Structure 1
Amino acid sequence: MSWPPTEGVRFAVLGPLRVWRGSEVVSGGSQMERALLTALLLREGRVATADELVDALWGQERPRRGRTAVGTYVSRIRKALGPGLLVRESGRYALNVGQGALDLGVAQDLAAESERARAVDDLPRARALIGSALDLWDGESLAGVPGPFAEAQRVRLEEWRLQLVEAQVDMDLDLGNHAEVVSQLTALTAAHPLRERLCELLMLALYRSGRRAEALAVYADVRRLLADELGVDPRAGLKELQRLILQADGSLLHALQPSLETGPTEPPRPSQLPATVSDFTGRASIVRELTDVLSAVESRVLALSALGGMGGAGKTTLAVHVAHTVRLQFPDGQLYVDLAGTGPQAAEPNAVLGAFLRSLGLADSSIPDSLEERAALYRATLEGRRVLVLLDNARNAAQVRPLLPGTGGCAALITSRNRMVDLEGARLVDLDVMSPEEGLQLFTKIVGEERVAGERRAALDVIAACGFLPLAIRIAASRLAARRTWTVSTLTVRLADERRRLDELQAGDLAVKATFELGYGQLEPFQARAFRLLGLADGPDISLAAAAAVLDLPVEATEDLLESLVDTSLLESVAPGRYRYHDLVRLYARACAERDEQPPMEKEMAMSRLLDFYLATAARVYTIERPGNQLVDHLEPTAHNGLIFRDRQGALDWLYSEGWCLLACARQSSAGTLLRRAVDLMWVTRDLSESGAFSKQFESTAVALCDTAEALGDLRATGRAALVFAEAQSLLGRFDAVEQQADRVLMAAEASGDTQVMHRLANLRGTVALYQNRNEDAAAHFEYALDAFRLDGDRPGEASVLCNLSRVRLALGDTSRALSLAEESVAIYDSLGMSVRGANARYALGLVLTRVGRHSEARNMLNEARSIFQDGRQRLWEGQTYFRLAEVDLADQRPRESAAHAEQALALLTDVGGEWRRANVLTVLGRALNALGQTDRARICWQDALSIFDELNSVESQELQDLLADTATSSSRNAM
């Protein structure tokens, strides 16, 4: 349903009274004429007498000639609207408004449709419809329209709008958007502090966001306010919610309580099981045993079975088959994960729990960080549900335990190469190799009865050569099925030749390698080379363009080659243009590279080509994001030109989609001639760290390259790697660590003559000194950096330092100089066509404008910066800008808006920016809440901030102590 329509006469009352005829704006007339038009519009077509209209316009103070005035107003309105709309008959009046021509009517229809959608559990649609209704408001309803009728309608429409907002937030909470609505609810409760329903929603949102103390503080604040203002206690629903929060009731984490007056919302039902194989064979007794255990689960019992066995025994195939057999016994869903227990990097339970919780309907913002908290939330979310969890390829019991449901009615099925004798309560099932009969059945189903019937003995020999391992049999049979000119005996001869098989064919993992050897032996030489070399890269997958670089082939030829490997089942196509090895196949490919690649240097050359591709392409992205930046002129040269992007969006898409692969390549490229390019790759992908999505991986990779460079005695690489690491520490708020690293950077840079490092180190050290209130030190560092960048002709570098100098002058009270420096920085960036870095200049200018009291200009400047940061996916700086907007609002005596912006900053700075920045935001949030009279919640924020500052030994601790002392005498009674 769209509004406004493009034809006819239409009216708006959800905001100032407005009238249109087609695209033409029609004047509503005088104030009294607008009041009369309002009275007719909101009667929704019903007739009104002249006396009723007089009452609507003047109430008890009606003039003597009121009826005459009404007639005059009617005539003017009829003339303005045109014929047929305002009808007069026998002293009665009516306004004929067409369907969809009044915004209020459209909003009512949307709200009713939303209720119907919610009644059938279509929560996303219901929420969207409410949002569309609220979007029709354009400020205060009937703004400026006089008269008692308009005033009464204004109150009614505002109350209805608030009810819609409450319904919308209610649905947001049901959808798991807890952290996102805290900001909105903070502003709403500040505007309507006695509206208990809003307070309930805020308490629940805070609790689900892991902010229990603040949730209880909200109750204390509203309880005190109700007593002071109205002399009453909170209503029952609010008291019950406080009790549940005090008890940490798990039900609050996944469903609204009936006392909160919400309707039921059906949780998502994940269906993640891989497809079962159509030719599943044998294992009848084990299938029956597992099916009986899982199907017999009762509401009070957790069924737990662990399926163990050697690699290639068919554990996953069997487990998936059994899971599909019993899936109807688990109507609330099935979860699946490959725990990668056989690989070098097993899946972390913390990450798996995050994926599971998202699949069960929780938003990222409501998922806690620690393993213990995630496990507890996971168990609480499964409470009362019947869900089957398939944990495939587990390494050990310790990896599995946090992933087990804690509730009756659920079941877990685990596969592992290790017998999990230390997994309490598990039904252990050992899976051995197939019997000859079962192996022959599987082989025949794949190859075909006709081809096997005349060569039964040869087929049994093939099965025996495969060690009766299901995976080996399946791959061997598939290869034969794809080679119509081969006989079964041909395959038997190839397997009988021990030179074509690994000696370890009959034992453990080596049986799987023997099967891979068979598939590898069928490859043409150019396929085998690709198989070996592509397995060298550490990334989780590889793009078509990156693979072309590794193989030194055109993209089209590479795609044909990779698709042929997909056909052999040695490579997986995970998405168009992206390919992946199974972990075991990757290990086998690398073993083949060690054994077969000639000349041996080809392996290093392949990795060099991949590194060149990533570095050259990342440098192009860096240039697009930072026009005029000269850093790219000082990078190690590459033989690859890199990809060319049509626009900035495409460049950013590439950077963030390849983030893990880029960092993995940098980490493994630490030998010989690759090291310097690996370090430079980190330098030009710093946006990955600032985005927050890759912060931890970026930091650990920087540390590894630092250590390698120092061990190899490469001073140039050491200086650059140490600087990248120091910058990562700065983003996390670890300023003492930056200073400790600075000497290491400077010594290496001076010894190698790397001026780029020295310039940027000075800028970084100045930033740290600024954050630590060492303003004179900061100024000295910045002046050095400014001279260096100007001497080098580096305009972006110069603009960056001017930003920072502006902040120093601001800290020293020289607002005039601070303003001119910030404006000069903005001008330089704008002249270069800068995007994200230009936003940093606007950010700095916004700080100065805030200090000099030009709040409206500051707000506009910071909003410009925030929009640019958001488009550039710079989550850290977007969050920081919301923090600065909160400061502007606070200085402008707008505490409600300040609290909302601070909450948005907190949501964005989760897991990025470090605890120091979070403490700064909590300080401002506390100030805003205190100004709103929410003293208890304010003190909770300040106490959290003080704990952080104390741990970091930051100078801000004294400010927090003073704030807490100032409010210590105010009433902060504990909630009963």
Structure 2
Amino acid sequence: MGETRETGELRFALLGPLRAWYGEEEIALGRPQQRALLAVLLDAPGRTVAHGVLAEGIWGDGAAPADPRKALQLLVHRLRSAFRPYLAESPIVRVGDGYALRVPDAGTDFAEWRRLLAEAENGTSPHATRELLRAAHRLWDGEPLAGLPGPHAEAVRARLAGERLTAVERRLELDAELDDRPALTAEAAALCLEHPGRPRLVAVLMRALHRAGRTAEALAVYEDARASLPPEPRTAPGGPGTRRGPGAGDAPAPDSPAGLQLRILRGDPTLLGGPAEGPAEAAAPVRPVPEQLPADLADFTGRGPAVDALADRLAGTGGRAVVVSALDGMGGVGKTTLAVHAARRAAGRFPDGQLFADLRGADPTPREPAAVLAEFLRALGTAAEDVPPGTAERSACYRSVLTGRRVLVVLDNAAGPEQIEPLLPGSADCAVLVTSRTRLPGLAGAHHLRVDPLPADEAAELFTRIAGPDRVAAEPGLAEEIVAACGRLPLAVRIAASRLAADPGLTLAALSEGLRDERRLAALDDGERAVEATFALSYHRLTPEEARAFRLLALPDAPDVALPCAAALLGRSGAAADELLEKLVDLNLLHSPGFGRYGYHDLVRAYARARLAEEESGTERSAAAARLLDFCLATARRADTAARSVDPAEQSLLDTPVTGTGRPLATGADAVRWMRDQAPVHAAAVALACADPSLPLAQAAELVDKMGSVLFERTQTTVIAALAARITEAAGARGDLAPEALARYVRGSMLWHVNRYEESRDEITRAVVLCESLAPDAGPAARVWAKALLTLAGNARVNGRHEEAAGHAGRAAEVFRALGAERAEGGALGEFAFNAARGGRLDEARRAAERGARLMSGTGPVSAATGRYYLARVLRLCGDPEGALAAATGAREEFARLQVAVFEAAAGDLAARIHAEAGRATLAAEAAEAVLPLARKTSAALEAALLHTLGSALASLGRPRQARACLGDAAEVYARLGITAEEAAVRALLAALPSP
């Protein structure tokens, strides 16, 4: 006997092809009959298996050799030879009239499978049980004993397949219970198609569809499956836990398909909730806990009764969602400070987080509730692409997300009830604090609290704490004069005391005299005038450089400005700007809501703007605005490159010059974060350019174009469209055709992405006309022209005008070719090829699609996948379904890896259609269901297309009710979008279905 390996452990795998290892080295087990013999022995580890049983398991009744005993001896000999290089003694031993296999207790994946299932039966929590089941399923490598002959292998396959399916059902039930898997619907639907008549699978699918908002489909699943379901256990009305057979008066079990049908029809709210409350589990998904409250003031003074009243209100939440308190009072009286102090004191009662928003109600343009809702939803863990487009939809989503959470919401500086109401939670466990300059009598359920100036003693105490007790004690009586001159308003007192603390040489007497002079000069006679006098006193003591920074930072109408933008605005280095702005923060003339961000109290902003208008020349204001716009555009270009690896020929659509280099952005995530965070500053820069004829509208138009390129999400499209409309108006008034063309293209593109096709077509058509008037073949307008033509092509395609679409896309491809923009040319060729194929020009279409795919293959992974997707569309129409399916599947996998959801859904829809056309209805339904959740988040038109495909496939599979639900939803979406040709096709399918 040859040498054997000295170390190692013998292991076997049955949950897939039969394999064996010694240590890390795989053992060659030989021919199928040898492995079939080994499989029989592995099914009875350590026990003797008689010759007759072995022969029956390998060959059955009619296929045994003439001498089965001799044949078995030969098979055993060969198997022992396979083990000999590894083991000194064979694991197969002769025992009486048979053989036995000596293997360790845990030497097979089958043993590990059974161990994990047993642990799952006794799982300590739903999460722990599910993790055990997932670990068990990871052991599988395909069909058990794949490829082995004989009755025994067939019986083992059937038995293990049943065990596996039962375990899958249990895992899916836990997924439904925990409600944390968006892909659950697709997996459950696929299994229902593969294994009809399984009540547990039907129940899981019904629950998942209902929670996904597809209630009609959930009910239809039950109706279609009813005939194939076995009789259900029933619950006797007299005893909730009593089970008995079907009979009069019995109720179906609540979690059975019939029970779920009744609960859905009755609107059972527990079906839409998450898991029952209980101790937190380590495996539970972590929900973000926002902590957005501004910092509390270390020198907060007074307000004891008000703080106590707010604390009592917060302690009494529960039973209904209420606005705990609406604080009103004049500007500078300390409403925000009081609200933040009370909120921080109560934060422990709200373990799921605290939300804060400045609604800018005192500004000329208060914040839109939709924008605030988008920020809140993202802070609560909703992905940007999942935020709905409209205010009402966002508000409903916000209330749903807050269900079951204890969150405190602070809404500062509100304009009125109509701004607040969409931001109110629906959960009884949440609370809201609102501050406003005016009383809000229309706010239902609110407890109103008027915030007055501080009492004289509390105002003096606040002054002393900031200025220092020694300074105040050195000049008795003057502190009371100063706080009286400040109207006892905390903001004014704070600024006056900060002025004193910052200047050791300034006396209280000089400060008091200065305030008296300022009040006389301004004829001050009310509280807010007292604040203005305090501003003036502090402002007049600033250095010229500090005063200039104070004025210029008020130029953009934005809540706050990031340090890099502020440095550009001021024309100073980052370090110099930081030093200036931090000095203004120290004087309470600015506040810093976050690291490197600077803003004003609204009263201070108004004062700074007044100073800006009176003391800065128009030339200097224009120069500052130009610096800001230039910096924003330069950084936006870098963001575009980081986020999209932009083709140089597409980088600047108008060849707009910039003088700066912008801010470095390392990754695509950094780019998106910057562009999202700075969107208010970008909007302010665009507004300045539109209002100032000396500023280049071309820069503003390109900045808006970059916003659209990087922030490709529903939360920004309407904002970008509005900015583009503002540029078109200003450019039209100036006769500046190139920026107007780009702005119209951007607006039309944004409208296209929110499915407003007719408006988009009108805007893009006007952009094309403008470009053509600019001789685009010879100028930078060529890029705008080509992109506008391509968008027109997409619009025509959606509406079934394929010849028109091919014409637009073909012209776009020619222009991109002349520009040397290979990726863009490839995309245009893909659009052209699809529409040409729909028009019957198949050879021309295939050549164009193949060229487009080649051009796009070398310009980045997203472009390469897009090229494959475009090619797949054309191959399908050209009669090459298998080539089309391979390209579509490859594209979908790449889009999934790159997290490009909208194209992943489109490629999945294409694969589903190819399966359907080949008569593979089950595969079509599975492919459509797998990407439908993505389409619902990204594109209504894609959602309708997938529902159309899914409905058709379900009809072919004999599920008319579920098909009707899908097709009905598709028709409604198509009707809403105005896509009449597809709507008509779907309604024709509906009419052909049998009556319910």
Alignment TM-score, normalising by the size of structure 1: 0.84
Match of 2:953? 928
Q: In structure 2, give the amino acid aligned to 1:825.
A: G
How far 1:822 sits from its partner (Å)? 0.8
**Match status 1:17 vs 2:18:** yes
1:248 to 240, 246, 267: 267
- Partner deviation per Cα, 1:731-780 (whole Å, 9 max, x = no partner): 34444334433552244233333441444443333333333333333343
Cα 1:404–1:526 shift into 2, 3 Å = same
Q: In structure 1, give the amino acid aligned to 2:303.
A: R
Determine the C-alpha separation between the residues in 1 that align with 2:826 and 2:879: 24
Stretch deviating more after TM superposition (106-115 or 663-672) = 106-115
- Partner deviation per Cα, 1:372-405 (whole Å, 9 max, x = no partner): 5665676677777766554443322233334445
Match of 1:195? 198
**Match status 1:526 vs 2:526:** no
How far 1:312 sits from its partner (Å)? 2.3
Match of 2:49? 50
Match of 2:871? 845
- Partner deviation per Cα, 1:504-535 (whole Å, 9 max, x = no partner): 68434x66655555665565443443343344
Cα 1:33–1:441 shift into 2, 3 Å = farther
Determine the C-alpha separation between the residues in 1 that align with 2:748 and 2:945: 21
What is the aligned-residue identity percentage?
Answer: 36
Stretch deviating more after TM superposition (948-957 or 323-332) = 323-332
Match of 1:604? 622
The equivalences for 1:47-126 within 5 A come to: 47-51=46-50, 54=54, 57-58=57-58, 61=61, 63-64=68-69, 68=73, 71-72=76-77, 75-76=80-81, 78-79=83-84, 81-83=86-88, 86=91, 88=93, 93-97=100-104, 103=109, 119=125, 123=127
How far 1:924 sits from its partner (Å)? 1.6
**Match status 1:726 vs 2:748:** yes
Determine the C-alpha separation between the residues in 2 that align with 1:805 and 1:426: 59
Match of 1:553? 572
**Match status 1:823 vs 2:824:** no
Contact 1:309/1:417, CA 8 A, preserved across alignment: yes
How far 1:572 sits from its partner (Å)? 5.5
Match of 1:3? none
SS at match of 1:537: coil
Cα 1:65–1:921 shift into 2, 3 Å = same
- Partner deviation per Cα, 1:154-210 (whole Å, 9 max, x = no partner): 445444544554555555556654644333332232223323333323223322222
How far 1:826 sits from its partner (Å)? 1.9
Stretch deviating more after TM superposition (861-870 or 767-776) = 861-870
How far 1:135 sits from its partner (Å)? 4.1
Count of residues in Structure 1 that have an aligned counterpart in Structure 2? 952
Determine the C-alpha separation between the residues in 2 that align with 1:301 and 1:229: 41
Please provide the CA RMSD for this pair. Answer: 4.5
* Structure of greater Rg: 2
2:632 to 588, 601, 614: 614
SS at match of 2:652: helix
Contact 2:321/2:425, CA 8 A, preserved across alignment: no
The equivalences for 1:430-449 within 5 A come to: 430-449=450-469
How far 1:479 sits from its partner (Å)? 4.9
SS at match of 1:420: coil
- Partner deviation per Cα, 1:264-308 (whole Å, 9 max, x = no partner): 989969574735444432223333334444445675796843222
Cα 1:664–1:844 shift into 2, 3 Å = farther
Structure with bigger RCO (C-alpha 8 Å, 6+ apart):
1
How far 1:96 sits from its partner (Å)? 4.2
Stretch deviating more after TM superposition (294-303 or 665-674) = 294-303
SS at match of 2:435: strand
SS at match of 1:424: coil
Determine the C-alpha separation between the residues in 1 that align with 2:791 and 2:499: 59
Contact 2:224/2:962, CA 8 A, preserved across alignment: yes
Runs of at least 5 residues in structure 1 that lack an aligned partner in the other structure: 1-5
Determine the C-alpha separation between the residues in 2 that align with 1:917 and 1:301: 37
Match of 1:212? 215
Q: In structure 1, give the amino acid aligned to 2:964.
A: R
How far 1:711 sits from its partner (Å)? 2.8
The equivalences for 1:172-191 within 5 A come to: 172-173=175-176, 177=180, 179-191=182-194
Determine the C-alpha separation between the residues in 1 that align with 2:584 and 2:156: 71
How far 1:313 sits from its partner (Å)? 2.0
Runs of at least 5 residues in structure 2 that lack an aligned partner in the other structure: 1-6, 234-244
2:969 to 920, 944, 956: 944
How far 1:434 sits from its partner (Å)? 0.5
Q: In structure 2, give the amino acid aligned to 1:194.
A: G
The equivalences for 1:407-446 within 5 A come to: 411-446=431-466
SS at match of 2:980: coil
Determine the C-alpha separation between the residues in 2 that align with 1:9 and 1:344: 78
Match of 1:675? 697
Stretch deviating more after TM superposition (821-830 or 850-859) = 850-859
SS at match of 2:325: strand
Q: In structure 2, give the amino acid aligned to 1:210.
A: G
SS at match of 1:629: helix
Stretch deviating more after TM superposition (959-968 or 792-801) = 792-801
SS at match of 1:907: helix
Contact 1:466/1:505, CA 8 A, preserved across alignment: no
Stretch deviating more after TM superposition (702-711 or 612-621) = 612-621
Determine the C-alpha separation between the residues in 1 that align with 2:414 and 2:768: 46
The equivalences for 1:107-186 within 5 A come to: 119=125, 123=127, 131=134, 133-146=136-149, 150-162=153-165, 165-166=168-169, 169-170=172-173, 172-173=175-176, 177=180, 179-186=182-189
Cα 1:821–1:475 shift into 2, 3 Å = same
Contact 1:334/1:387, CA 8 A, preserved across alignment: yes
- Partner deviation per Cα, 1:638-677 (whole Å, 9 max, x = no partner): 2223456667776666556655654553354324232122
Q: In structure 2, give the amino acid aligned to 1:596.
A: E
SS at match of 1:956: helix
Cα 1:781–1:278 shift into 2, 3 Å = closer
Cα 1:276–1:820 shift into 2, 3 Å = same
Cα 1:67–1:12 shift into 2, 3 Å = closer
Cα 1:424–1:501 shift into 2, 3 Å = farther
Determine the C-alpha separation between the residues in 1 that align with 2:55 and 2:583: 84
Determine the C-alpha separation between the residues in 2 that align with 1:826 and 1:774: 24
Determine the C-alpha separation between the residues in 1 that align with 2:895 and 2:506: 61
Match of 1:968? 994
Q: In structure 2, give the amino acid aligned to 1:458.
A: L
Cα 1:640–1:202 shift into 2, 3 Å = same
Contact 1:439/1:468, CA 8 A, preserved across alignment: yes
Contact 2:768/2:789, CA 8 A, preserved across alignment: no
Determine the C-alpha separation between the residues in 2 that align with 1:264 and 1:645: 35
Contact 1:850/1:888, CA 8 A, preserved across alignment: yes
Cα 1:479–1:950 shift into 2, 3 Å = same
**Match status 1:318 vs 2:343:** no
How far 1:601 sits from its partner (Å)? 1.9
Contact 1:17/1:142, CA 8 A, preserved across alignment: yes
- Partner deviation per Cα, 1:908-945 (whole Å, 9 max, x = no partner): 344644x4443223212222332343322221221222
How far 1:702 sits from its partner (Å)? 1.9
1:708 to 720, 725, 730: 730
Determine the C-alpha separation between the residues in 2 that align with 1:215 and 1:813: 40
Contact 1:196/1:234, CA 8 A, preserved across alignment: no
Determine the C-alpha separation between the residues in 2 that align with 1:397 and 1:190: 51
Alignment TM-score, normalising by the size of structure 2: 0.83
Contact 1:501/1:518, CA 8 A, preserved across alignment: no
Cα 1:794–1:94 shift into 2, 3 Å = closer
Q: In structure 2, give the amino acid aligned to 1:601.
A: T
How far 1:614 sits from its partner (Å)? 3.0
Contact 1:699/1:725, CA 8 A, preserved across alignment: yes
How far 1:635 sits from its partner (Å)? 1.9
Q: In structure 2, give the amino acid aligned to 1:941.
A: C
Determine the C-alpha separation between the residues in 2 that align with 1:564 and 1:135: 60
Determine the C-alpha separation between the residues in 2 that align with 1:116 and 1:221: 35
